[in-house]
Structure 1
């Protein structure tokens, strides 16, 4: 039987500072990627929007431009650290292309827009495992994406450790 060329796949992985995010990336590498040279893994980090504070009388910002520049440098540094950690997790991949994207905005919107714009075959993301109350206040990025992205969404939940030794 003739070899059938494997279809090119684009897999988008949303990464952030959390252990759950890196666990989802590792899980994807171990369970989804086959070493197929046609696979492209796209690592996406969303820099959260900066909160804008104004004075009560509406006359201006509470922060000086120096403080805003420092906040921007910090956000960029965090993004760079997250992407470096994610790329290190991908070093063992042979033949898989790895791309990185850093976007600014609310993670829900950034992830959904990137999935649509890049025409990815799958979106993989970690689950923070928030309870009902936290999810009600903070919302669930993974739930929002699962409801709004047109491609398959794989939400990887990191197993809880109970702290007991075996």
Structure 2
């Protein structure tokens, strides 16, 4: 029996599939926390130009929209849980997703972290990095990576 489970979700179908999979196969969860991590607002670098900083009003507006989108995503996830008769807490965190997932799991004394897999190939993982790969190697609790059914076709 899993007492404390964290599911990290983003806007991808794969992360919502991971939540759906967990709800289908693990009905004895005592405490489910669903987290979404907002990355810092990006700075833009243009060729031949120094770093371009967005204006304060643009940053505030973008952050407001991003937070609203995160709240909508978490509300959808909570609705999925309610449909499966599982009560879930939701949280929006800010920072680097891979680091924040591990930190949240440690602070909550999680028994399990669940993440979805986007099925990135080796080259894409080398350039972009992999949140799930980082979490597997850095988390202090077990990590379950849920691949969607068609993930084998993406390699």
TM-score tier by shorter-chain length is 0.7 to 0.9
Q: Which has the higher helix share?
A: 2
User: 1:1-54, CA deviations, whole angstroms, 9 ceiling, x for partnerless residues?
Assistant: xxxxxx6701000011000000000000011223x6xx1110010001112358
Q: Report the number of matched residues.
A: 150
Unaligned runs of 5+ in 2: none
Structure 1 partner of 2:82: 91
Structure 1 partner of 2:147: 157
Relative to structure 1, the CA distance from residue 57 to residue 143 in structure 2 (aligned partners, 3 Å threshold; closer, same or farther) is closer
- Residues in 2 aligned to 1:137 and 1:108: alpha-carbon distance in whole angstroms: 15
Where in structure 1 do 4 or more consecutive aligned residues deviate above 3 Å? 52-58
Unaligned runs of 5+ in 1: 1-6
8 Å contact kept, 2:2–2:112 = no
2:105 is aligned, of 101, 112, 115, to 115
Displacement of 1:160: 0.8
Normalised to the residue count of structure 2, the TM-score between the two structures is: 0.87
Q: Whose radius of gyration is greater, 1 or 2?
A: 1
